A and B are shown apart, each in its own frame.
Chain A
Amino acid sequence: GESVGLHLPTLSVQEGDNSIINCAYSNSASDYFIWYKQESGKGPQFIIDIRSNMDKRQGQRVTVLLNKTVKHLSLQIAATQPGDSAVYFCAEVSSGNTPLVFGKGTRLSVIA
């Protein structure tokens, strides 16, 4: 599942620190957003989602923030662990029967 060769933004974080991964979207009609994690050799896995009527949602060690004014989405990972090393994708859905649109992804590297 690795995106070998794809020029991805990369974030390197020390183990135990917090990580913030950002995503900009362009479609103001998008009303549902999802973060996926893709580890090497695997398919993407759902992490957390948020609807446009919210600006924050928390999961276990993860928080998603949505700023509709500037069309910006972020994923915060608390106390980053080596197992968090992966490519993270944001995806958006606009209202209506439309499929997910995935962003290019950010590669998170955790330094032990």
Chain B
Amino acid sequence: ETGVTQTPRHLVMGMTNKKSLKCEQHLGHNAMYWYKQSAKKPLELMFVYNFKEQTENNSVPSRFSPECPNSSHLFLHLHTLQPEDSALYLCASSQEFLAGGRFGELFFGEGSRLTVL
């Protein structure tokens, strides 16, 4: 139990569906992240929120839309996805998003396994 909870753990959706992934952290952290882990690539950073403000958008297609209503919750809204978007989506949190070491220790959730048909 890392203190970061992701739901759903598994999601199957069609290309025209709209769905959302949810992440909640119980660690009192101020930074939250979405990573994508696919079969063909290493962990890819998608978005970073620091104190509810988006600080990183790593050239992610607009069919992925993040939302951070407060420091404890992070959503990833999905719309008109493609089969190549099938992957494990990992949420993480850290105390703050700062340079170097204080950024370093990320606490990950167990991921949401997404399959796009």
Interface residues of A (CB under 8 A from B): 1, 3-6, 31-32, 34, 36, 41-46, 49, 51, 89, 93, 95-100, 102-105
Give the docked Cα–Cα distance between A6 and B38 (Å): 8
Taking a contact as CB atoms under 8 Å apart, the answer to whether A49 and B42 are in contact is no
Interface residues of B (CB under 8 A from A): 2, 4, 33, 37-43, 45, 48, 55-56, 88, 90, 92, 97-101, 103-111
Taking a contact as CB atoms under 8 Å apart, the answer to whether A6 and B105 are in contact is no
Chain B residue at minimal CB-CB distance from A52: B100
Q: What are the residues of chain A within 8 A of B100 when measuring CB–CB?
A: 31-32, 51, 93, 95
Taking a contact as CB atoms under 8 Å apart, the answer to whether A99 and B40 are in contact is no
Taking a contact as CB atoms under 8 Å apart, the answer to whether A1 and B99 are in contact is no
Give the docked Cα–Cα distance between A34 and B40 (Å): 22
Chain A residue at minimal CB-CB distance from B4: A43
Chain A residue at minimal CB-CB distance from B91: A43
Question: Can you list 30 A-B pairs with a CB-CB distance of less than 8 A?
Answer: A1-B111, A5-B40, A6-B39, A6-B41, A32-B101, A34-B105, A36-B106, A41-B110, A43-B2, A43-B90, A44-B106, A45-B2, A46-B106, A46-B107, A49-B101, A49-B104, A51-B101, A93-B104, A95-B99, A95-B100, A96-B99, A97-B55, A97-B97, A99-B45, A99-B48, A99-B97, A100-B103, A102-B42, A102-B43, A105-B42
Q: What are the residues of chain A within 8 A of B48 when measuring CB–CB?
A: 99
Chain B residue at minimal CB-CB distance from A4: B39
* Known A1-B88, A43-B2; contact A103-B42, beta-carbon cutoff 8 A: yes
Give the docked Cα–Cα distance between A95 and B102 (Å): 12
Taking a contact as CB atoms under 8 Å apart, the answer to whether A104 and B42 are in contact is yes
The 8 Å CB contact of A5, one of B39, B45, B97, B110, is B39
* Known A49-B104, A49-B105; contact A97-B99, beta-carbon cutoff 8 A: yes
Give the docked Cα–Cα distance between A98 and B90 (Å): 19
Taking a contact as CB atoms under 8 Å apart, the answer to whether B99 and A6 are in contact is no
Taking a contact as CB atoms under 8 Å apart, the answer to whether B105 and A46 are in contact is yes
